[in-house]
Amino acid sequence: MEQEVRVCVFGATGYTGAELLRVLVNHPHVRIASLLSKSHFGKKLKEILPSFYGFPLGDIKLSWEPEEDFDLAFLCLPHETSLELVPELIKLGKRVIDLSGAYRIGKPDVYLEFYGFEHKHSDLLEEAVYGLPEIFREHIKGARLVANPGCYPTATLLALYPLLKERMEIESPIVDALSGVSGAGRKTTQKFHYPEMEGNAFAYSVEKHRHVPEIEHIVQKVYGKEVKVRFTPQVIPLARGMMVKLYVKCKEHDFKELYRETYKDEPFVVLLDEPPSIKQVLGSNLCLLYPYYDKERSLLQVIGVIDNLGKGASTQAVQNFNLMMGFDEGLSIRMLPIFP
């Protein structure tokens, strides 16, 4: 091993933490320095994540504080916890990839309205790089702090980006999005109790959702002007996976070509000639896109799928890690989807 990066994972026992570890364990340049969990410290990882039985990593004890020195921290924490931990880590000279929403939106005032807390670290908020490699690759490379995108924004922005980049005239886009239940995290709630979620599906946060300011903020950054997005998140009965359907009124154009051209060098974005299915990307870092233009209605429609815990969270975090460290971008995240 030429180079070894010592890595800490804060909040190792949630779904994004688990998926991150599943991938990092195969990374040739990563050494897991500590796994942290304030709710389960003192226990072994496998006691909280039974899929680690049979693997040395499963026997690591969860700790309250980092147990040895480290170079980079992945934060799989609640927004409020990340908010305060990030400045401390940065002050200690660590690099940070934050999977929470605490440093994604460069407008401090948004946080009070959408997250319910005041954001007092506006300098770091400004410095943080939004970790969507297909748009911000060059900025990610040198970043100290990467704000790893939300799953809905990842899929939505990859579906929108070719239009934004080309400054196409777009009228308030509609985003109708389906998510697997793991998107809501590991905490139990009545609606996600198995007997009630099996065979069920519903929309939520129709009037207001945190991912809207995140999407609109990045759109404005790339597109140069404000765009209002109508966003309807829905939960469907599957553990992992996400599908967004984007509807945009706009003039005719060779959209298939535009999308293909935009992403032709991207290792993890694939254009399809027919609608993709969620399971096609299960456990992978892929995003599959299918654009279709309806001439009769002057409407562009783009369908995209990702794994909400993969490209929508943890494997994308590793993609960012690889970029930050100057490694091959696809190291340890080129695995095939699991099928069936």
Site for a second copy in 174-203 (CB under 8 A): 174, 176, 178, 180-182, 186, 188-190, 192-203
Would you count residue 103 as binding a second copy (CB under 8 A)?
Answer: no
- Closest contact distance (angstroms) between CB of 93 and a second copy is 31
Spatial contact of 76 and 125, defined as CB atoms under 8 Å apart: no
> Which residue among 8, 151, 250, 287 is the active-site one?
151
By C-beta, is 41 or 247 nearer to a second copy? 247
By C-beta, is 143 or 197 nearer to a second copy? 197
Closest CA to 160 of 105, 102, 220: 220
Q: How far, in whole angstroms, is CA 59 from its chain's centroid? A: 28
Closest CA to 215 of 203, 231, 234: 231
Would you count residue 220 as binding a second copy (CB under 8 A)?
Answer: no
By C-beta, is 312 or 324 nearer to a second copy? 312
Tell which one of 107, 250, 292, 325 touches a second copy (CB under 8 A).
Answer: 292
- Closest contact distance (angstroms) between CB of 242 and a second copy is 9
| 151 classed as catalytic | yes
The Cα 228–Cα 170 span in angstroms is 10
Contacts of 296 (CB under 8 A, 6+ apart): none
Binding to a second copy (CB under 8 A): which residues in 150-179?
172, 174, 176, 178
18-26, 124-132, 161-169, 321-329 -> range binding a second copy (CB under 8 A)? 18-26
- Closest contact distance (angstroms) between CB of 201 and a second copy is 5
- Closest contact distance (angstroms) between CB of 72 and a second copy is 21
Would you count residue 134 as binding a second copy (CB under 8 A)?
Answer: no
By C-beta, is 108 or 275 nearer to a second copy? 275
Phi, psi of 197 (to 5 degrees): -90, -30
Q: Positive or negative CA dihedral for 119, 124, 129, 131?
A: negative
31-39, 84-92, 113-121, 286-294 -> range binding a second copy (CB under 8 A)? 286-294
Tell which one of 156, 283, 322, 329 touches a second copy (CB under 8 A).
Answer: 283
Would you count residue 239 as binding a second copy (CB under 8 A)?
Answer: yes
Give the 3-state secondary structure of residue 43.
coil
By C-beta, is 65 or 207 nearer to a second copy? 207
The Cα 284–Cα 329 span in angstroms is 14
Look at the chain and count its residues: 340
Closest CA to 63 of 32, 19, 98: 32
Q: How far, in whole angstroms, is CA 65 from its chain's centroid? A: 25
Whole-number Cα distances in Å, 85 to 65, 102, 112, 159:
12, 10, 18, 32
Would you count residue 268 as binding a second copy (CB under 8 A)?
Answer: yes
Would you count residue 340 as binding a second copy (CB under 8 A)?
Answer: yes
52-60, 96-104, 122-130, 144-152 -> range binding a second copy (CB under 8 A)? 52-60
Would you count residue 64 as binding a second copy (CB under 8 A)?
Answer: no
The Cα 210–Cα 64 span in angstroms is 29
By C-beta, is 145 or 175 nearer to a second copy? 175
Would you count residue 116 as binding a second copy (CB under 8 A)?
Answer: no
Contacts of 329 (CB under 8 A, 6+ apart): 133, 267, 319, 322, 323
Long-range pairs for 56-61 at CB < 8 Å and ≥24 separation?
A: 57/21, 57/25, 57/32, 60/32, 60/35
- Closest contact distance (angstroms) between CB of 237 and a second copy is 6
Spatial contact of 242 and 153, defined as CB atoms under 8 Å apart: no
Would you count residue 133 as binding a second copy (CB under 8 A)?
Answer: no
Active-site residue list: 151
